[in-house]
Amino acid sequence: MDQTAPTLVDPSVSQLVRDLPKVELHVHLEGSMPAETLFELAGRHRVEGVPGTLEELRSWYAFTDFPHFVEVYLASVHTLREEADFALLASVVAERLSAQNVRYAEVHVSLYAHLMRGVPAKVVFDGIERARMDAEREHGIQLRWIPDFPADFGVESAERTVEAVLRDGPQSVVGFGVGGVESPLGPYAEVFGRARAAGLASLPHAGEHGGPVRVLEALDVLGAERIGHGIDVMKDPALVERLVAAQVPVDVSPTSNICTRAVDRIEEHPLPAMLDAGLLVTLNSDDPTMFGSDLSGEYGIAHDMVGSEGLVRLARNGVEASYLGVARRRELLAEIDSVAARYGIAVS
Ligand SMILES: [Zn+2]
């Protein structure tokens, strides 16, 4: 580190956030649906239980509490029926990410939520793939997919999901995930074994509300290569040491943690302590439109907690923890470093 590096020249945090090339490693396709898209799709399929005017829908859509979030999430999922619906959503999501200078995203797809409604996996994948290719051509953003199932739905749902992925999943599926209400992960060892044998990364949610034990299971039972949320690891120093030693990335989403009450107040968020401990922390938006945030907003919040140097480190960590190819990773890291140099920020 250059100790003589000048202090931040331009105090405009939002400009720094804007200038940094970013990656998103923990963002849900369905939880990124804008109110306008929900309005359009609900109208297209005459879905009931969704307000009839865009203005009403916008205020209904705004985050109030977790039960209401679940209601909005389920309504949004319910509007996704045909290939064109998935294509529309994925293209809107890609456009919004690209507008924030996000260059690459690994996007969770709640595949089982669609399978259980009778929507074939092929319909989901064909739709999002079309949007992925269009977005890459039009905006230069690269998208990859992480299909998942809910941990509280049992082994059969997990098996149906992995079978659908192995049968119909395109090359752009980089990993396999589990989300939902945190539950013991032991029953999913075999399913994740199949996904990993097929070359997919194990990318579970663990340790958001469920305690360090879920993270241990994710590592030991599912062979997790990255931990979704994982903030509970801070309750177990030995586990932190293990994650630091192996440099297993932990994908953190501050606004989501507040909305789901995993953390009471932003001032109490463990992000600074996690970085100080040497964890490979990445910054993410989780369910951005439904939590009223986006990745840039998370960067702004993180800046308040860890400053400009911390922000650059988070941006670099995202690239390091991604499944981008080595050459593209190097390019993005060099670009981040040159932005940091322009702002006089030391890169640690
Ligand atoms: Zn998530």
Is residue 342 predicted with pLDDT exceeding 90? yes
Q: Which of 241, 228, 331 shows the shortest CA–CA distance to 282? A: 228
Interval between CA 341 and ligand 1 midpoint (Å) = 33
Query: Quick one: pLDDT at residue 8?
Result: 44
Give the mean pLDDT of 34-54.
Answer: 93
Residues with CB under 5 A from ligand 1 (ion): 286
Query: Quick one: pLDDT at residue 5?
Result: 42
**Percent of the chain residues past pLDDT 90, beyond the cut:** 91
Q: How confident is the model at residue 152 (pLDDT cuts 50, 70, 90)?
A: very high
- In tens, the pLDDT along 271-305 reads 999 999 999 999 999 999 999 999 999 999 999 99
Is residue 141 predicted with pLDDT exceeding 60? yes
Which DSSP string corresponds to 261-283? Answer: TSSS-GGG-SHHHHHHTT--EEE
- In tens, the pLDDT along 217-260 reads 999 999 999 999 999 999 999 999 999 999 999 999 999 999 99
Query: Quick one: pLDDT at residue 11?
Result: 58
How far, rounded to the nearest angstrom, does the alpha carbon of residue 245 sit from its chain's CA centroid?
24
Interval between CA 146 and ligand 1 midpoint (Å) = 11
The set of catalytic residues is 208
Helix (H) or strand (E) holding 22: strand 22-28
Interval between CA 345 and ligand 1 midpoint (Å) = 31
Residue 303 exposed, middle or buried by CB count within 10 Å (0-12, 13-18, 19+): middle
**What are 276's two structure tokens?**
């100080």
- To which residue do tokens 């945030």 refer? 293
Alpha carbon distances (Å) from 180 to 28, 93, 208, 280: 12, 21, 11, 24
69 or 198: which carries more pLDDT confidence? Answer: 198
For 280-343, where are the alpha helices, taking DSSP H only?
295-320, 326-342
3-state secondary structure of 73: helix
Interval between CA 266 and ligand 1 midpoint (Å) = 18
Is residue 3 predicted with pLDDT exceeding 50? no
Query: Quick one: pLDDT at residue 6?
Result: 43
Interval between CA 27 and ligand 1 midpoint (Å) = 6
End-to-end CA distance of the chain: 6
Phi, psi of 97 (to 5 degrees): -65, -45
Give the mean pLDDT of 337-341.
Answer: 97
Q: How far apart are CA 324 and CA 321, in angstroms?
A: 9
**What are 227's two structure tokens?**
């931990």
Question: Looking at domain 11-342, does it have CATH number 2.60.120.1440?
Answer: no
Query: Quick one: pLDDT at residue 70?
Result: 87
Q: Record the pTM.
A: 0.94
Interval between CA 129 and ligand 1 midpoint (Å) = 21
Interval between CA 46 and ligand 1 midpoint (Å) = 28
Q: How far apart are CA 316 and CA 133, in angstroms?
A: 25
Interval between CA 221 and ligand 1 midpoint (Å) = 20
Interval between CA 252 and ligand 1 midpoint (Å) = 9
Q: Which of 147, 255, 162, 252 shows the shortest CA–CA distance to 206? A: 252
Interval between CA 69 and ligand 1 midpoint (Å) = 13
Query: Quick one: pLDDT at residue 325?
Result: 95
- In tens, the pLDDT along 57-112 reads 999 998 888 889 889 999 999 999 999 999 999 999 999 999 999 999 999 999 99
Residues 6+ apart with CB under 8 A from 298: 253, 254, 255, 283, 284, 285
3-state secondary structure of 348: coil
Give the mean pLDDT of 173-187.
Answer: 95
Phi, psi of 71 (to 5 degrees): -60, -45
Query: Quick one: pLDDT at residue 12?
Result: 83
Interval between CA 251 and ligand 1 midpoint (Å) = 9
Alpha carbon distances (Å) from 259 to 58, 125, 271: 18, 30, 16
Residues 6+ apart with CB under 8 A from 54: 35, 36, 39
